[in-house]
Amino acid sequence: MHRFANPAEFNRLADAILPWAKIIMAAAFAYGLYLALFTSPPDYQQGESVRIMYVHVPAAWMSMFTYMVVAAASFTALVWRHPVALLAGKAAAPIGATFTALALITGMLWGKPMWGTYWVWDGRLTSVLVLFFLYLGYMALWRGLDEEDKAGRAASILALVGVVNIPIIKFSVDWWNTLHQPSSVMRMDGPTMPAEMLWPLLTVALAFKAYFIVVFLYRMKLEINLRKLTVLSSIEARG
């Protein structure tokens, strides 16, 4: 048996991590928002609207990161038949989808003052949109099959096919974007960013990551307890 295959073991581990993750989350959110809203300078071109970036970019990072978590959990679940890993993918996916939606919504809100319209088929936004669809498919497949275990493994196969395709999709969308839209509008990344903008960005990213851990662990505990409930009720049904 694997070490964390034992759900009770996992619960103990989660309970040990949770308080620390909560503290980091609260501190990083408070400090990050303070930096982002007050100390960081407005952009000389975009003005105050640049502050959306401090939510948008970390959310986009998290959308990718969470998909990798789902893919890794799926791989573990399929190869080692790890029951807790199966639930890890299920627990992580909605968080990832939420971050992806957040990245899309903030991207659109940012687009309005910058491009004069909410949606532009910008390469990065389009990739995030496709990623959002991948999340939707993964979650729909979990719900689509009647048997929990099979549903999880089917969704895991999909997640692995998806993770192979993500770089291809990203590349093809960039390719398509340069064909149809030669001028790249949004270039906020890279080492050219001044430190007073980079720090709030990284702090909020840390806060998001801690938030992910907190929600993820709670969702895992929930899933494990639901399993327990199923077990207990089926024992009861047998008499």
Q: Give contact residues for another protein (rule: CB under 8 A).
A: 1, 5-8, 78, 83, 130, 133-134, 136-137, 140-141, 144-150, 153-154, 157-158, 160-162, 164-165, 168-169, 171-173, 175-176, 179, 224, 227-228, 230-232, 234-235, 238
User: Which pair of tokens denotes residue 50?
Assistant: 């640049």
CB nearer to another protein: pick between 23 and 157? 157
- Helix pair 195-238, 83-115: axis angle to 10 deg: 140
Nearest approach in angstroms of CB 236 to another protein is 10
Q: How far apart are CA 234 and CA 109, in angstroms?
A: 49
State residue 56 phi and psi, 5-degree precision: -65, -50
CB nearer to another protein: pick between 18 and 169? 169
177 close to 126: Cβ distance less than 8 angstroms:
yes
Estimate to the nearest angstrom the gap between the alpha carbon of 43 and the chain centroid: 27
CB nearer to another protein: pick between 16 and 168? 168
Nearest approach in angstroms of CB 93 to another protein is 14
Nearest approach in angstroms of CB 204 to another protein is 28
Nearest approach in angstroms of CB 127 to another protein is 9
Q: How far apart are CA 18 and CA 21, in angstroms?
A: 5
CB nearer to another protein: pick between 180 and 187? 180
- Helix pair 148-180, 83-115: axis angle to 10 deg: 30
